Structure 1
Amino acid sequence: MGFILPLFLGFITATIGIFPPGLINMTAAKISVQDGKTRAMLFTSGALVVIFFQTLLALVFARYIDAHQEVVILLREIGFGIFSVLTLYFFFLAKGPKKQVKEEIKIKSKKSRFFLGMLISAINFFPIPYYVFVSVGLASFGYFSFHSAAIYTFVIGVVFGSFAVFYAYIAFFKKIESKTDFIIRNMNTIIGSITGLVSALTLYNIIKYYFKF
């Protein structure tokens, strides 16, 4: 159970974080349509290499933060403020996406899919703060600990979860294309719901810390 839980948590958090349509998974899908699944899998492999190191870096940083409780509390309070503002913004202020003519993702070279995957994944810095906050949050609830075995198991779970989402986009893009359009149209509501949930959990942790219950 000591290895299964962090593996499962890594898988689930990666699936949640990567499932919404983004540059990496949509590019993988387009490559699959244009050049076949083999080249799309090469692209995915390159992206996964970078995701592995980004997640590992995030958890090493999170371990330092977790060892300094004063930093954890400060981050919770800052995070609560940020996520609360984001929730209000996405629910009440953000405008819906404008309907645009679909544009194909043009990829000139067909020989360097692996390195293209690494490049696109490397310019996406979202995984680092995402896994820092997720791992610290899970640790605060007692579901995760920052010993080396758990960290590497969690990272492997993230890689598996990321691969599962990428493969779903590659294999079933034509079938889920209408679903991705629905997600994009309702992205503000989806993001607002997620940030609202994170805000509520963060507030609970802050209250729990100060009132010691």
Structure 2
Amino acid sequence: MNYITPIFFGFISAFIGIIPPGLINMTAAKVNHKEGKRNALWFVFGAILVIFFQVFFAILFAKIINSRPDIVTLLREIGFGIFTALTIYFLGIAKAPTGKTKKLKKRSKTKRFFLGMLLSALNFFPIPYYVFVCISLASYKLFLFDLTSIFIFVIGSVMGSFLVFYVYISFFNRIESKRDYIMKNMNTIIGSITGLVSIITLINIINYYW
């Protein structure tokens, strides 16, 4: 049994999905800055607990969808339309975010744990993201929907998520000094990523029909 492939792709998928500055990772950094690393880590543990179940259920959805080639093709076409629209929006329409963040009041580590769970639960992006990732990997025979591979992939995604959060916590001062620049260019970054995904999806659609 190959354990390296699912944990590698789980790790890389999580890393790519979480590395852009967002509500959860920036909040983790802010908690660390205002309240210390211990509270920040409790916040991260809460977020990761929810991510664990989000990834697991996303893979189960992907397994069901993957058994229907017609649905997979339809989702690719829908995904191409969505990612193309997002690319146009972020590169040509959206205004640059201001990068302003709210001040955090000092809270207990238990409250930070549940805050991490809450913010992570409110973030619905991981489910469709991991569904798309797993279906794409399965189409290239890089992922199997057996229980062992699923569990290892989830562990890899948790490890990747934790690493990104820990980087934000540990290097907050450096991130903060460059945060305004990053936030001003975030639309370009996201638009470039969605544009690349659109091209890859279009290639897959063309290969399927040809």
What TM-score bracket applies, with the shorter chain setting the length?
A: over 0.9
Q: What is the Cα deviation at residue 106 of structure 1?
A: 3.9
Q: Which residue of 1 aligns with 2:4?
A: 4
- The sequence identity of aligned pairs, in percent, is 60
CA distance in 1, matches of 2:144, 2:109: 42
CA distance in 2, matches of 1:79, 1:59: 17
TM-score by length of 2: 0.94
| Aligned counterparts, 1:60-139, within 5 A | 60-98=60-98, 103-106=102-105, 108=107, 111-139=110-138
Q: What is the Cα deviation at residue 189 of structure 1?
A: 0.8
Q: Which moved more, 1:168-177 or 1:105-114?
A: 105-114
Could you report, residue by residue, the CA deviation over 1:69-108 in whole angstroms, capped at 9, with x for unpaired residues? Answer: 11000000111111112112222222222475x5423455
Contact persistence 2:99–2:179 (CA under 8 A): no
Q: Which residue of 1 aligns with 2:33?
A: 33
Q: Which residue of 2 aligns with 1:140?
A: 139
Counterparts in 2 of 1:180 and 1:5: CA distance versus 1, 3 Å: farther
Could you report, residue by residue, the CA deviation over 1:17-63 in whole angstroms, capped at 9, with x for unpaired residues? Answer: 11111111111111111111111111111111100000000000000
CA distance in 1, matches of 2:99, 2:40: 27
- Structure 1: which 5+ runs fail to align? none
Q: Which residue of 2 aligns with 1:180?
A: 179
Q: Matched residue of 1:112: which SS?
A: helix
Counterparts in 2 of 1:141 and 1:182: CA distance versus 1, 3 Å: farther
CA distance in 2, matches of 1:169, 1:43: 12
CA distance in 1, matches of 2:162, 2:109: 21
CA RMSD of aligned residues (A): 1.6
Counterparts in 2 of 1:99 and 1:80: CA distance versus 1, 3 Å: closer
Amino acid at match of 1:182: Y
Counterparts in 2 of 1:164 and 1:71: CA distance versus 1, 3 Å: same
- Structure 2: which 5+ runs fail to align? none
Q: Which residue of 2 aligns with 1:170?
A: 169
CA distance in 2, matches of 1:198, 1:62: 18
CA distance in 2, matches of 1:145, 1:160: 20
Amino acid at match of 2:3: F
Q: Which residue of 2 aligns with 1:204?
A: 203
CA distance in 2, matches of 1:80, 1:50: 28
CA distance in 2, matches of 1:179, 1:208: 41
CA distance in 2, matches of 1:52, 1:156: 8
Amino acid at match of 1:124: N
Could you report, residue by residue, the CA deviation over 1:169-198 in whole angstroms, capped at 9, with x for unpaired residues? Answer: 111101222333222111111111111111
How many residue pairs are counted as aligned between the two chains?
210
1:155 pairs with 2:154: yes
Could you report, residue by residue, the CA deviation over 1:118-176 in whole angstroms, capped at 9, with x for unpaired residues? Answer: 11111111111111111111111222121111111110000000000111111110122
TM-score by length of 1: 0.92
CA distance in 1, matches of 2:130, 2:49: 16
CA distance in 2, matches of 1:9, 1:99: 31
Q: Which residue of 1 aligns with 2:189?
A: 190
